[in-house]
Structure 1
Amino acid sequence: MSLHTPIKPARKARIGLYSVGLRAYWEQFPGLRERLIEYGKFIETRMSQWGEVYNYGLVDTESEGRRAGEWLNGNNVDLVFCHVATYTTSSTVLPVHQLCQAPVVFLNLQPTDRINYDESTTGEWLAHCGACPVPEFANVFNRARIPFRVVNGMLGLDYTPAISLTNETTNLKPEAIKAWREIEEWVRAASVPRALKHSRFGFLGNTYSGMLDMYSDFTMIQAQTGLHVEVLEMCDLDRMLKDVTPEQVKQKLETVHEMFQISGDSPSDPIARKPSEEQLEWSCRVAVAQERLVREFDLDALSYYYHGAPGGEYEKLQGGFIVGHSLLTARGIPCSGEGDLKTAVAMKICDILGTGGSFSEIVVVDYVDGTILLGHDGPFHIAIAEGKPILRGMGLYHGKQGTGVSVEAKVKTGPITTLNVTQTGDGQLKLIISEAESTDGPIMRIGNTQTPVKFRLPPDSYMSRWFAEAPTHHCAMSIGHNGSLFAKVGELMQMNYVTIGER
């Protein structure tokens, strides 16, 4: 088992697919029907890399459309792709989506980059005229108040069917590559609402007192995302802590030594020192209890914070949180500090999509390098770290009670995207998306996570744009440029979103 093997693998989207044509064509043009079905099976195979695909097959009359709509409903699909294989009337397609309310994407994927003008027959042309009915569909769906999206491009076959009179090997064409990138994003994005609707988010303790942007209504969160919030008590965790064995602590300590570099004393900060054996052992004991809590309550994510009375047992318990919550985050159970449930949602979206999602806020601006350092005092997403994260013993946690072990690390250098889930004045959740680059710039050696990030706008311009969107002050940092992917998540979840600094 890998150190990053998910405790609970994310659910894949259930994808509906069907192709359309006009029944009158089949007798007129022998082989056309079978050719279009073959195209549909090619699409099904490619989509199956990212989701569970339910391919109804060919819809060529309005009555067949009704049957397809009911069949798609029966398979509980999250998203439907209508492969516009050739011309058909809009009356064939509309009933599918009047019965099945899942979002729809039309696929206008031409099999060739250029038709063979000299030798083409009418039947040959009909195999390539998928764009013809799309404006008709667009008009009718608009009037029926059914939202739709369209992916335009080439089919991307890596061979040419025997029946074809032209070259259909288009898999390396930019129009095919771009179209399939869009299709992949739609399929992956559809996994987010499905996974969230089956998720259990633990809320342990309370929200950091006075952080008003953090406070959220649990009912509102469930109403808009479908996730369940399980309210947990520190005594739940304490009960599990009491049953931790020395052997379990030893095993967790081995994992910690494998995943982290144990620091010496910070050369600059007197409160950041080499972790003591006692501190490491305590963090590992707490980490065993934290994983047990996740498993017992069947959690998919966790938001936590507990202040604790000075010198109390729970103060000591929460002092050991960061290492274990970092380990859980790396294994698909995102953990957000300070009771920030909305950022736990942002982190889980990143996790479902396989892009990481590390807990972050603004640390400081570097005007010399033109970067903004993003990070926190923990937890950290170890799986997307640049090198081995460092563990430092903390004489105190700034602004919090207790002492313990903290993570000092940065996200790997390269393309990143921040995702902020905020709440607007009318109570609606909103996504704020920013693509950027993480750099190899310096960070402080104070036992906190920090990543120098160069956004597409200068620091002051970026911050002005970001602050104007009224974010929560935390965000999730993911690896890769995921702006269009996150935007599709917003669309499918019917959630407002904004992308800052778009090209």
Structure 2
Amino acid sequence: MTILSPLKPAKKARIGLYSIGLAAYWNQFPGLRERLIEYGAFLEKQMSAYGEVFNFGLVDEETKGRRAGEWFNEKNVDLIFCHSATYATSASVLPVHQICKAPVVVLNLQPTERINYAQSTTGEWLAHCGACPVPEISNAFNRARIPFRVVNGLLGLDYTPSISLTNEITKDRKEAVRAWREIEEWIRAASVPRNLRHARFGFLGNTYSGMLDMYSDFAMVQAQTGLHVEVLEMCDLDRMLRDVTPDDVKRKLEEVRAMFEISGDSPSDPIARKPSEEQLDWSCRVAAAQEKLVREYELDALTYYYHGAPGGEYEKLQGGFIVGHSLLTAQGIPCSGEGDLKTAIAMKICDLLGTGGSFSEIVVVDYVDETILLGHDGPFHIAISNGKPILRGMGLFHGKQGTGVSVEAKVKSGPITTLNVTQTGDGNLKLIISEGESTNGTIMAIGNTQTPVKFREHPDLYMEKWFAEAPTHHCAISVGHNASLLRKVGTLMDVAQVTL
């Protein structure tokens, strides 16, 4: 199965980093300042694997803290790591974050698992006492109403500095592994609000009539996420369709044959048939137009729905949507059906994190296996498919007008996480996060995506808790257990979240 390249590469998070200390120490303990700077350089190098890092260096007095805050503002950072390298006064730290309002994570990362008690000097101890100022810093942040998080653990060096009197090779210790997993998640999570603030989401057509959970206030969405909603018309897509060439169609057909298995007739459902050549040609023609639409309007995601007048040109046009929107989703442009903008946001979050994000809803409960089938008749994220997705010709789309080609697939077996973006009664967005397992159980041959998911509780208990959170009925499926990562996204977006 071929994996397509993204149409628009995602932006990396811009990460601020600085280390703290006390200026009075430097003349008292030669080599200490340089040692702490070396630790900071190690952090910068490791973090650079996940984001764009701006290391201010050492903040050891109040005036440097002010300079650091201004510098981070100039660098437009999304998140700041304060490396608690040794004792420092909170008066040096607080100005950084009073001037630069980016979220802050304090790193309490000790260089050694155990200090050399017999030979340690005061200077050696000070190189390992990063936990010492964290209570003071926490108190100052709290009184200044600055939200913060702390990562505790080991620094994770793969060598011991020559000045050290103890072992500092800690990269494989669980305390280092856990700490760096947290750091990686914070940096990956920080890329989400940065990308959303620069994103253009297309809204093509309208929301399926009567589906009140999916109606969205575009101003509210932009206020809380930063993304821009570009309202599109079917005539915009029709204009693109008129410019599609035979070579465009041929290229799309090659993509389709590389990425999908073309089905025969369904053994059970008379409306799910082998796609005809005419249906495949039309789906590829529409897919080429959909890509042109995305490129012309510089879209980062798309939500859509249009039923069209019976027998009209736009009814025929929307009948060819699903294949092209699945291809776009595979190229980093998540597409959600039925005009569900909030689920397009959920899908985009998952895609930015590299975990997929497939459009889903509850299909049916299997009480024998104690699984819930999640899926839809709309776009599928091909990168997380369990084998090649199947294309079926549909004699009709249930609850909708027209005919066309649909995707039948399920998410690969193993750990998954669902993300639901909903809107509460007070008008605020909320993330609902659930971890489970894709079981590779049997699915129906009806031209819909379906993934049997076993959550941590019996389906009835899980659904009771899920429904109590007032979700939209769609969600995004991502691969991996990502609750910790998604909670960090919610924190950095300043959006409420709950994990079931």
TM-score (norm 1): 0.99
1:5 aligns with 2:11: no
* Equivalent in the alignment of 2:80: 80
Letter in structure 1 aligned against 2:255 = T
1:145-185 deviations in Å (ceiling 9; x for gaps): 11110000000000000000000000000000000000000
* Equivalent in the alignment of 1:23: 23
1:339 aligns with 2:339: yes
Measure, in 2, the Cα distance between the counterparts of 1:375 and 1:321: 17
1:365-410 deviations in Å (ceiling 9; x for gaps): 0010010000000110011100000000000000000000000000
Task: Give the secondary structure class of the aligned counterpart of 1:497.
Answer: strand
Task: Give the secondary structure class of the aligned counterpart of 2:405.
Answer: strand
**Counterparts in 2 of 1:312-331, with a 5 A limit?**
312-331=312-331
Q: Percent identity?
A: 81
Task: Give the secondary structure class of the aligned counterpart of 1:288.
Answer: helix
* Equivalent in the alignment of 1:182: 182
Task: Give the secondary structure class of the aligned counterpart of 1:442.
Answer: coil
Measure, in 2, the Cα distance between the counterparts of 1:408 and 1:378: 9
* Equivalent in the alignment of 1:419: 419
Task: Give the secondary structure class of the aligned counterpart of 1:38.
Answer: helix
**Counterparts in 2 of 1:3-152, with a 5 A limit?**
3-152=3-152
Alpha-carbon offset, residue 251 of structure 1: 1.2
1:422-455 deviations in Å (ceiling 9; x for gaps): 0000000000000111011000000000000000
Alpha-carbon offset, residue 234 of structure 1: 0.2
Alpha-carbon offset, residue 3 of structure 1: 3.7
* Equivalent in the alignment of 2:406: 406
Task: Give the secondary structure class of the aligned counterpart of 1:348.
Answer: helix
* Equivalent in the alignment of 1:395: 395
1:246 aligns with 2:257: no
Measure, in 2, the Cα distance between the counterparts of 1:344 and 1:472: 12
Task: Give the secondary structure class of the aligned counterpart of 2:76.
Answer: coil
Question: Alignment length, in residue pairs?
Answer: 499
Structure 2 gaps of 5+ residues are none
* Equivalent in the alignment of 1:381: 381
* Equivalent in the alignment of 1:307: 307
**Counterparts in 2 of 1:194-205, with a 5 A limit?**
194-205=194-205
* Equivalent in the alignment of 1:457: 457
Measure, in 1, the Cα distance between the counterparts of 2:242 and 2:75: 45
Alpha-carbon offset, residue 349 of structure 1: 0.4
1:9-68 deviations in Å (ceiling 9; x for gaps): 111110000000000000000000000000000000010011100000000000010000
Alpha-carbon offset, residue 4 of structure 1: 2.0
* Equivalent in the alignment of 2:264: 264
Measure, in 1, the Cα distance between the counterparts of 2:370 and 2:112: 46
Measure, in 1, the Cα distance between the counterparts of 2:445 and 2:9: 34
Measure, in 1, the Cα distance between the counterparts of 2:410 and 2:376: 10
Task: Give the secondary structure class of the aligned counterpart of 2:80.
Answer: strand
Task: Give the secondary structure class of the aligned counterpart of 1:41.
Answer: helix
Measure, in 2, the Cα distance between the counterparts of 1:25 and 1:212: 63
1:482 aligns with 2:482: yes
**Counterparts in 2 of 1:205-216, with a 5 A limit?**
205-216=205-216
1:327-353 deviations in Å (ceiling 9; x for gaps): 000110000000000000000000111
Alpha-carbon offset, residue 248 of structure 1: 1.1
Deviating beyond 6 angstroms after TM superposition, the runs of 4 or more aligned structure 1 residues are: none
1:167-215 deviations in Å (ceiling 9; x for gaps): 0000000000000000000000000000000000000000000100000
Structure 1 gaps of 5+ residues are none
Letter in structure 2 aligned against 1:5 = S
Task: Give the secondary structure class of the aligned counterpart of 1:490.
Answer: helix
TM-score (norm 2): 0.99
Measure, in 2, the Cα distance between the counterparts of 1:463 and 1:179: 33
Measure, in 2, the Cα distance between the counterparts of 1:448 and 1:440: 15
Letter in structure 1 aligned against 2:395 = G
Letter in structure 1 aligned against 2:223 = A
1:91-129 deviations in Å (ceiling 9; x for gaps): 010011110100000000000000000000000000000
Structure 1 range deviating more: 136-145 or 331-340: 136-145
Aligned CA RMSD, in angstroms, stands at 0.5
Task: Give the secondary structure class of the aligned counterpart of 1:77.
Answer: coil
Measure, in 1, the Cα distance between the counterparts of 2:490 and 2:248: 41
* Equivalent in the alignment of 1:229: 229
1:429 aligns with 2:425: no
* Equivalent in the alignment of 1:466: 466
Task: Give the secondary structure class of the aligned counterpart of 1:358.
Answer: strand
Measure, in 2, the Cα distance between the counterparts of 1:291 and 1:457: 41
Letter in structure 1 aligned against 2:336 = S
Task: Give the secondary structure class of the aligned counterpart of 1:250.
Answer: helix
